[in-house]
């Protein structure tokens, strides 16, 4: 059997407290600090605690060259090699861990980006429960605990030295931007029309042209920029209340401007799924359409291989798409939202996505705003909610 070290791996020293009775009997607190060596390995999707001997051996193993097991056992302690193999950090060609490691290599991830992406994914997080627990255990107000916020603007020179710019003449775009407000009050009693649904999807996520840039390379023209014109981020949907569309999970085809059904849901199932996707942020659950901007990593990394800026470009893609969705919805008198507090793992499982190949970086959505503001919305211009 041939072995090699996994391709992408970060080892973090993590400090924790441990109770030691002997310290207590000596008049101390009974607590001591212990450092665990924790391996973050994206091909596993979980953290692994290592011994110091295992950490040292990982540094001596090649991630690129296959080596016969007999050759490794002749040079290194057999029990440490076995431990690393059992923890799937030393992989062979015939194991599932080896296949996942190869898939990660084939997607051309950069190490730091892969570690950050996989280490920041949530599963089953309930933000309401976390906030309630925090409120019950923490003392004082949020301001007491965090202190004053940094200034709203960093001022580099005195006001007298600033060069004033010409006044801006108001245009319809200004009126649209003034009405662009994140919604936390959706109307669950009404449906979006098919025309409203179609318009927002097309303007934000639809392809306006397909260009045969070179043999084997097609680029898309959309209403937003994207690194290399690749447009690696597509829209998966949880549709709840749209005329003519059965509640369920869909993929939006940006070239054909069409829905690809994945799984139909009852209204109750759709609401429960929405709640899980947005980590129990109740004010987003009633959105008529939940959009999961999902990045196809290989589409971007195919060109920008192991590139320091490739993952950042995907994050920018999601920002461009969500802002355009906001404006498209606002123009129609609809409401929109975006959140980064999401359960990525639950979303991947619901849509059958392989997280090594594609995954959500945020959740956004749109729909009809409710008549009453039961949840706080930040609308300082009073364009959506007029001042009393």
Question: What does the H/E/C string look like for the chain?
Answer: CEEEECCCCEEEEEEEEEECHHHHHCCCCCEEEEEEEEEEECCCCEEEEECHHHHHHHCCCCCCCCEEHHHHHHHCCHHHHHHHHHCCCEEECCCHHHHHHHHHHHCCCCHHHHHHHHHCCCCCCCHHHHHHHHHHHCCCCHHHHHCCCCCCCCCCCCHHHCCCCCCCCCCHHHHHHHHCCECCCECCCCCECHHHHHHHHHHHHCCCEEEEEECCEEEEECCCCCHHHCCCEEEEEEECCECCECCEEEEEECCCCEEEEEEECCHHHHHHHHHHHCCCCHHHHCCCEEEEEEEEHHHHHCCCCCCCCHHHHHHHHHHHHHHHHHHHHHHCCCEEEEECCCCHHHHHHHHCCCCCCEEECCEEEEECECCCCCCCCCCCCCCCCCCC
The model's pLDDT over 326-340, given as tens digits with 9 standing for 90+, comes to 999 999 999 999 999
Q: What number is the average pLDDT over the span 336-365?
A: 97
State the pLDDT at residue 20. Answer: 80
Q: What is the pLDDT of residues 26-82, one digit of tens each?
A: 677 778 888 999 999 999 988 999 999 999 999 999 999 999 999 999 999 999 999
Q: What pLDDT sits at residue 213?
A: 87
Question: Is residue 18 pLDDT above 90, yes or no?
Answer: no
- Please report the pLDDT score of residue 116 as a whole number: 93
For residue 143, is it left (φ>0), alpha (ψ between -120 and 50) or beta?
A: alpha
User: Which among 253, 211, 241 is positioned nearest to 229, based on CA atoms?
Assistant: 211
**The predicted structure's pLDDT at residue 134:** 75
Q: Is the pLDDT of residue 201 over 80?
A: yes
Using the predicted structure, report yes or no on whether residue 137 has a pLDDT greater than 90: no
- Measured CA to CA, the distance from residue 112 to residue 237 in angstroms comes to 29
Q: What is the mean pLDDT of the chain?
A: 94
For the chain, what percent of residues have pLDDT higher than 90? 85
pLDDT at 153 over 80: yes
Q: What percent of the chain has pLDDT over 70?
A: 99
CA distance 253 to 260: 7
Q: Is the pLDDT of residue 376 over 90?
A: yes
Q: Taking a C-beta distance cutoff of 8 angstroms, is the pair 29, 23 a contact?
A: yes
**Is 95 a residue whose pLDDT tops 90?**
yes
- Position 143 scores a pLDDT of 77
Angle at Cα 69 formed by Cα 68 and Cα 73, nearest 5°?
Answer: 125
pLDDT, tens digit, 9 for 90 and up, residues 295-329 = 999 999 999 999 999 999 999 999 999 999 999 99
Q: How far is Cα 355 from Cα 42, in angstroms, rounded to an integer?
A: 9
Is-contact 369 183, C-beta < 8 A? yes
pLDDT of residue 181: 96
Q: Which residues pair with 13 in a beta bridge?
A: 37
Pick from 289, 281, 137: nearest CA to 205: 289
Give the pLDDT confidence of 31-43 residue by residue, as tens digits: 888 899 999 999 9
Whether 107 shows a pLDDT value over 90: the answer reads: yes
Predicted local confidence at residue 121, as pLDDT: 93
pLDDT given at position 139: 73
Tokens of 242: 């749209």
Tokens at residue 195, please? 């025309």
Poorest-pLDDT segment among 8-17, 270-279, 281-290 = 8-17
Query: What sign for the dihedral angle of Cα 300, 306, 307, 312?
Result: positive
d(CA 249, CA 351): 7
State the pLDDT at residue 175.
95
Q: Are 91 and 104 contacting, i.e. CB atoms less than 8 angstroms apart?
A: no
What local confidence, expressed as pLDDT, does residue 25 receive? 72
Q: Are 83 and 51 in contact, with CB atoms under 8 Å apart?
A: yes
Residues 94, 96, 97, 99: is their CA dihedral positive or negative? positive
User: What pLDDT score was predicted for residue 229?
Assistant: 92
Task: For residue 118, count other CB atoms closer than 10 A to its CB.
Answer: 25
What is residue 287's predicted lDDT score, i.e. its pLDDT?
98
**Does residue 17 have a pLDDT over 90?**
no
Write down all domains in the chain, each with its CATH number in brackets. Answer: 2-106 (no CATH), 172-367 (3.40.109.10)
Tell me the whole-structure pTM to 2 decimals. Answer: 0.91
């Amino acid at each position: 059997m041939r072995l090699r070290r996994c391709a992408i791996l970060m080892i973090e020293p993590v400090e924790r407290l441990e109770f030691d009775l002997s310290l207590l009997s000596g008049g101390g607190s009974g607590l001591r600090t212990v450092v665990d060596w924790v391996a973050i390995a994206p091909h596993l999707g979980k953290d692994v605690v290592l011994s110091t001997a295992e950490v040292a051996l990982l540094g001596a193993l090649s991630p690129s060259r296959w080596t016969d097991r007999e050759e490794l056992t002749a040079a290194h302690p057999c029990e440490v090699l076995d431990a690393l193999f059992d923890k799937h950090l030393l992989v062979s060609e015939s194991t599932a861990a080896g296949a996942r490691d190869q898939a990660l290599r084939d997607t051309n991830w950069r190490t730091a980006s892969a570690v950050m992406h996989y280490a920041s994914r949530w599963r089953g997080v309930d933000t309401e429960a976390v906030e309630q627990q925090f409120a019950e255990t923490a003392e004082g107000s949020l301001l007491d605990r965090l202190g004053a916020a940094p200034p709203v603007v960093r001022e580099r020179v005195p006001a007298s030295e600033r060069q004033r710019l010409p006044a801006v003449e108001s245009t319809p775009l200004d009126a649209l931007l003034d009405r662009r407000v994140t919604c936390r009050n959706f109307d669950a009693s009404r449906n979006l029309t098919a025309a409203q649904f179609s318009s927002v999807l097309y303007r934000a996520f639809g392809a306006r042209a397909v260009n045969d840039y070179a043999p084997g390379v097609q680029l898309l023209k959309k209403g937003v920029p994207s690194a290399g014109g690749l447009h690696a981020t597509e829209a998966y949907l949880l549709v709840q209340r749209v005329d003519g569309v059965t509640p369920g999970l869909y993929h939006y085809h940006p070239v054909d401007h069409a829905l690809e059904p994945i799984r139909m849901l009852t209204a109750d199932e759709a609401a429960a799924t929405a709640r899980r996707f947005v980590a129990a942020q109740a004010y987003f659950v009633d959105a008529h359409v939940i959009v999961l901007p999902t990045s196809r990593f290989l589409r971007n990394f195919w060109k920008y291989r192991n590139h320091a800026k490739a993952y950042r470009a995907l994050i920018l893609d999601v920002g461009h798409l969500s802002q355009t969705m906001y404006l498209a919805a606002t123009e129609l008198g609809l409401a929109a939202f975006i959140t980064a507090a999401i359960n990525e793992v639950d979303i991947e499982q619901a849509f059958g996505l392989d997280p090594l190949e594609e995954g959500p970086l945020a959740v956004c959505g749109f729909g009809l705003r409710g008549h009453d503001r039961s949840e706080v919305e930040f609308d300082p211009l009073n364009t959506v909610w007029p001042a009393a």
